[in-house]
């Protein structure tokens, strides 16, 4: 059986690393399921989702000229109905409209994000822009002071003998 891009095959997990899992495919070939292709949710540790010698169904994403095979488990998982609906809307209206439709809410315990996103809603665009420019200038000034003093630049004392 030849391994072709887009085909769905069953394999056995032969090894798990911090960046993904190696899966032995029919015919003795081995492919990699990258950590980003293991599940639809954030994967911190592949061991939480897969075990060695476990049989898994994978979709072949890529086969390069050196014989490396890229696999995905995530693309075979069924999407939840609400995900399918929101994804179809995003495809119809483009990515920018789905971004606009989703409203960002910072976690209650994340004070930086709350201040950044919620307190500035009443300010006009010009006010936000001037505040950004002021903050940016202050940061650049601090950065220049630090780097110039290390390099012996402006304001640094130099002795010429």
Residues of the chain with CATH 2.40.50.140: 8-76
For the domain made up of 8-76, the CATH class stated in words is mainly beta
pTM equals 0.49
Among residues of the chain, what percentage have pLDDT more than 90?
A: 36
Q: Which of 5, 105, 10, 98 is nearest to 54 (CA)?
A: 10
Contact 14, 58 (CB under 8 A): no
Would the pLDDT of 61 be above 90?
yes
Better-scored residue on pLDDT, 156 or 22: 22
Strand, coil or helix: 105: coil
């Amino acid at each position: 059986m030849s391994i072709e891009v887009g085909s769905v095959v069953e394999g056995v997990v032969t090894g798990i690393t911090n960046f993904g899992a190696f899966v032995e495919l029919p015919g003795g070939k081995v492919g990699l399921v990258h950590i980003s292709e293991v599940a639809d949710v954030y994967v911190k540790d592949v061991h939480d989702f897969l075990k060695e010698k476990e049989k898994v169904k994978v979709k072949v994403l890529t086969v390069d000229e050196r014989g490396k095979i890229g696999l995905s488990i995530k693309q075979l998982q069924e999407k939840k109905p609400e995900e399918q609906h929101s994804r179809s809307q995003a495809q119809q209206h483009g990515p920018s409209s789905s971004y606009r439709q989703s409203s960002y809410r910072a976690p209650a315990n994340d004070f930086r994000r709350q201040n950044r996103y919620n307190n500035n809603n009443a300010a006009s665009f010009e006010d936000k822009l001037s505040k950004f420019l002021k903050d940016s200038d202050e940061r650049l000034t601090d950065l220049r002071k630090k780097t110039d003093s290390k390099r012996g630049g402006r304001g640094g004392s130099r002795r010429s003998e």
